Structure 1
């Protein structure tokens, strides 16, 4: 992939045409007026292209209603744009079941969709918070009562960095699964709490998240999930891009195993 960077601070003149962020035929357009911002959201089927910044002249907005008019007494001349992780956990479903044998430790790499986020600068008022492609809704848990509403997305779940198929509109999470149990752990689905993770970018502007460690120790129904504070040496140096949508005390989350793996 190229070194194309599409986030940062952007300056708008009142008379300037729109700015457009697009992936193939999918586009988000923003235009500044004296007392408001106009937003267009043009959706299409998912495509694996670079995220491009343009004036949007290739997109006809006349047939697409403005999805948002954001009013200010006087609009600022700058906005800040950056990627964010999903606003709730993402259920990753590998293409085939994974079996982690008893006593084994395995690192998985899971990719999840990113959101386009834009806010006024320097006031920090949100204008846009949209996924490039919205995953389907999915309930994950042991019952209709014990569980949570998530997003669902198929993923390859690679075990080696060199095997990763990186995409500009997705972020990759390194998940260390330690099976200290005396039984094999079979994973058909895994609940990735991306709303608790930091987002980083590398020197090629590929997106990565904080790492996660999960250890299965005994017959307990509860599992401690640790959000790593440091980044793997394999991935550094990385630059911080956006903070988690939710915070966790000491970087630890307690989850029922049935709410993590399926």
Structure 2
């Protein structure tokens, strides 16, 4: 018999629903309602301004709230299965640290930075994408040394945790380990980081948390960024991990360096 708690944690697994049944999901600030009818699916969502729950929840409800406008998807014979598949955002996420972070010369540290995911609402058998919905609404920001050089990103805030024990499980956000090396002779001040999430894979861990491939940044002092690379989850981090999605984009040799320009200031 399936474990109820595990079902709540692994909310991204395919689910079956009877005709006329309605499901409600809450993931962070996002509420999603899905209702199956004999020849159509109804989908509605809204964002809550209440305190965000850390633990995801989903349950059957009688109907979609009347104040919401539902999207209708007409199907000759509606499939019984659906899936809410988490994916990383389609643009880099610029995260501003809530407190100043300083790294002395010849030191290195690993920061654990989370960013919200996007949900692909899918019907199964055959697969049909209904809609992509961001778990959290983020504002746009331009990241780069000038208005001519840089790229359009999403803006967010982070606690920049430096110990895994400080992390709380928030299943609507994916954690990226960011290792920073300061090879310069001056103190390195980190005010914000641009996390290139389109270039990272997304994984689910048994405890319900979401993780991405790690990122390594090396600061030489002469430039804002001298070296950048992505990696794979360590053996310890990858225990029981399930790959949910491959990187949206493949990194090009020079584009990532440009994306991280002007992160640091001495």
TM (norm. structure 2) is: 0.85
Q: How does 1:67-146 map to 2 (within 5 A)?
A: 68-146=71-149
Structure-2 change in CA distance of 1:182 and 1:24 (3 Å): closer
Per-residue CA deviations over 1:4-42 (Å, capped at 9, x if unaligned) read 2211112233x2311221247741011223443221012
Aligned mates of 1:160, 1:103 — CA distance in 2: 20
Gaps of 5+ in 2: none
Paired residues in the alignment total: 257
User: Equivalents in 2 of 1:60, 1:75: separation in Å?
Assistant: 18
CA contact (8 A) 2:217 2:225 kept: no
Cα distance in 1 between the residues matched to 2:69 and 2:22: 15
Residue 180 of structure 1: aligned partner = 183
Deviations 1:178-210 (A, max 9, x none): 122223221111001112111111121111111
1:21 maps to which residue?
Answer: 25
Contact 1:11 / 1:77 at 8 angstroms: preserved in 2? yes
In the other structure, the counterpart of 1:37 is: 41
SS of the residue 1:258 aligns to: coil
- Give the 3-state SS of the residue equivalent to 2:184 in structure 1: coil
Match of 1:7 in 2: 12
Q: Does the C-alpha gap of structure 1 residues 101 and 60 become closer, same or farther in structure 2, counting only changes over 3 Å?
A: same
On the 8 A contact 1:28/1:41 being kept in 2, the answer is yes
Match of 2:229 among 226, 231, 236: 226
* Residue 236 of structure 1 pairs with residue 241 of structure 2: no
**Separation in 1 of the partners of 2:202 and 2:16?**
24
C-alpha change, 1:54 and 1:61, in structure 2 (3 Å) is same
Supply the distance in 2 between the matched residues of 1:6 and 1:172 (Cα, whole angstroms): 17
SS in 1 for 2:198: helix
Cα gap change, 1:115/1:156 in structure 2, threshold over 3 Å: closer, same or farther? same
Give 5+ residue unaligned stretches, structure 1: none
- Specify the SS of the correspondent of 1:253: helix
- Partner Cα separation in structure 2 for residue 151 and residue 222 of structure 1: 20
| C-alpha distance 25-166 of structure 1, shift in aligned 2 (>3 A) | closer
Distance 2:103 2:210 in 1: 27
1:53-99: CA deviation from partner (whole Å, max 9, x where unpaired): 21234x75211111x22334543332232211112111111111211
- Alpha carbons of structure 1 residues 196 and 183: separation in structure 2 relative to 1, 3 Å: same
Q: What value does the CA root-mean-square deviation take over the aligned residues?
A: 2.5
Give the Cα separation in 1 of the matches to 2:202 and 2:174.
8
1:191·1:259 contact (CA, 8 Å) conserved in 2?
no
Structure 1 residues 171 and 121, CA gap change in structure 2 (3 angstroms): same
Distance 1:244 1:123, change over 3 A: farther
Deviations, residues 78-133 of structure 1 (Å, cap 9, x unaligned):
22322111121111111112112221111111011122222222443321211222
| Counterpart in the other structure of 1:155 | 158
How many angstroms does 1:213 deviate by? 0.9
Equivalent position SS for 1:99: strand
C-alpha displacement at 1:247, in angstroms? 2.3
